[in-house]
A = this chain, B = another copy of it.
Amino acid sequence: MLKINTNFQKLPGSYLFSAIAKKIENYKNANPDKDIIRLGIGDVTRPLTKSVIDALHTSVDEMAHEETFRGYAPDLGYSFLREAVAKNDFEKRGCDISADEIFVSDGAKCDSGNIQELFSLDNTVGVCDPVYPVYVDSNVMAGRAGDYIADLSKFSNITYMLCSAENNFAPNLPEVMPDIIYLCFPNNPTGATMKKSELQKWVDAANASKSVIIYDAAYEAYIREDDVPHSIYECNGAKTCAIELRSFSKTAGFTGLRLGYAVVPKDLIMDGCSLHDMWARRHGTKYNGAPYIVQRAGEAVYFAQGQEEVKGLVNYYMQNCDTILNGLKDTNLKLFGGINAPYIWLKTPDNMTGWDFFDFLLEKANVVGTPGEGFGPGGNGYFRLTAFGKHENTVEAVKRIRSVL
């Protein structure tokens, strides 16, 4: 008789954004005439740029002719893209990462969820609290998280590293380093960053304890301040302790196109094994590469025109951050983030929970954000607004929020 993976049953409720979608749908059904502005899910709204569109059309035409048709992509990605990534995202920043340490994927969400397969089930896991839910949920499904403690909204085997106003939303180094540490900076959801000197301490501690850091840098393109590292490999010794995950979703608007990559350095030898070789094996066995046309679109982002266009996208969204920060600064909301990340993290008024504030904004202002609790117990009483809306909608949302506070 088949036995199911009972770890799935430990997951409380449904995935955050599915739960939010359901709430919005219910509200819309009851109030079909209301115009809702969504600053909730971190999905982009600007169309793909000209370079990317041109690269897609050109490569689609290649697929129409026998001489230029491409079948299976190389498991680990086409060289043209891996080389463009190594050169532009790492070499130009002084990071010694080679093309064959880049593993092209269909996005950082998949990589975030799958990377834990490389590790034994009896490792300890540390996550920032609050944080993007995939790190915890994928470890729960695998059976590494222990049991859910409903009173605390925590799993028994996960170390929750609190990120609060007191530590500028960058966690303190734990007294005992977990074996697997997820860090996401610039952070989703708080928009916080770590300076290079701070991140160096984590790298040193991970090397000392032989822990691995999964560094999610999906938002690095939004960094506007100079002393904030774009890659963990800007720190000395990161190649022996860190995997970095990157995405084209937020950088170049690829949420609907699906492209990302993981960096697994060859120097990353853990427990006597090369994580680079293990990830290559994982890709070879369970993955079949990102579409050729999408990899060509990714390559186009690195050409001179593509780089200019991407800057334009980032500036557009960061202008929304400025609109929200300036528009709400003299209210009773305490605002964080929005300087080096496309997220505004705010303390709810009157000790409301994040879900209460979600319902309040949805019903009174017809504005959707994301309740902080969705990102972990440390998000209780906080709320996330994203900068990914259309500018005119963002202006209107700020006006509406001000009017109901």
A400 to chain B, nearest CB (A): 22
Residues of B within 8 A of A44 (CB): 71
Q: In angstroms, how far is the closest chain B Cβ from the Cβ of A279?
A: 10
User: Does the CB pair B118–A291 fall under 8 Å?
Assistant: no
From A26-34, A182-190, A225-233, A252-260, the one touching the partner chain is A252-260
Decide: B255 and A71 in contact? CB cutoff 8 A. Answer: yes
Q: Does A114 contact B (CB under 8 A)?
A: yes
Is A291 touching B291 in the complex (CB atoms < 8 A)?
yes
Instruction: Tell which of A5-13, A319-327, A359-367 binds the partner.
Output: A5-13
Chain B nearest Cβ from A360, distance in angstroms: 26
Number of copies: 2
Q: Is A152 an interface residue (CB 8 A)?
A: no
- A53 lies within 8 A of B60 (CB): yes
18 contacts across the A-B interface (CB closer than 8 A): A1-B271, A2-B270, A4-B272, A5-B278, A8-B281, A11-B281, A18-B284, A48-B64, A53-B63, A53-B64, A57-B57, A60-B60, A110-B286, A110-B288, A114-B286, A138-B285, A257-B292, A257-B293
- Please determine whether B286 and A138 come into contact, CB atoms closer than 8 angstroms: yes
Interface status of A65 (Cβ within 8 A of chain B): yes
In angstroms, how far is the closest chain B Cβ from the Cβ of A269?
10
Q: Chain A interface residue count: which class?
A: 35 or more
Instruction: Considering the complex, give the chain B residue whose CB is closest to the CB of A270.
Output: B2
Mark A40-79 against chain B: 1 for CB-CB distance below 8 A, else 0. Answer: 0101111110100100110011011110011111010000
Q: Which residues in B have their C-beta under 8 angstroms from that of A137? A: 285
A6 close to B120 (CB less than 8 A): yes
Listed stretches A81-89, A192-200, A209-217; interface member:
A209-217
State in angstroms the CA–CA spacing of A286 and B132 once bound together. 12
Does A15 touch B at the CB level, under 8 Å? yes
- Residue from B117, B210, B390 within 8 A of A2 (CB atoms): B210
Smallest beta-carbon distance A97→chain B, Å:
21
Q: Is A113 an interface residue (CB 8 A)?
A: yes
Contact A69 B43 (CB under 8 A): no
Q: Which residues of A contact B (CB under 8 A)?
A: 1-6, 8-9, 11, 14-15, 18, 41, 43-48, 50, 53, 56-57, 60-61, 63-66, 69-73, 75, 106-107, 109-110, 113-114, 117-123, 133-134, 137-138, 141, 179-180, 209-212, 253, 255-258, 270-273, 275, 278, 281-282, 284-294, 390
Complex Cα distance, B210 from A107, in Å, reads: 36
Residue in contact with A56 in the complex, picked from B60, B210, B271, B282, CB distance below 8 Å = B60
Closest to A269 in B: B4
Q: Known contacts A110-B287, A286-B110: does B64 contact A47 (CB below 8 Å)?
A: yes
Which residues from B are CB-within-8-Å of A2? 119, 123, 179-180, 210-212, 270-271
**A282 CA to B140 CA, complexed, in Å:** 11
With contact pairs A9-B273, A118-B8 given, residues A286 and B109 touching in the complex (Cβ less than 8 Å): yes
8 closest Cβ pairs, A-B complex: A113-B286, A3-B120, A43-B71, A15-B284, A1-B210, A47-B69, A71-B255, A70-B256
Q: Which residue of B lies closest to A275 (CB)?
A: B4
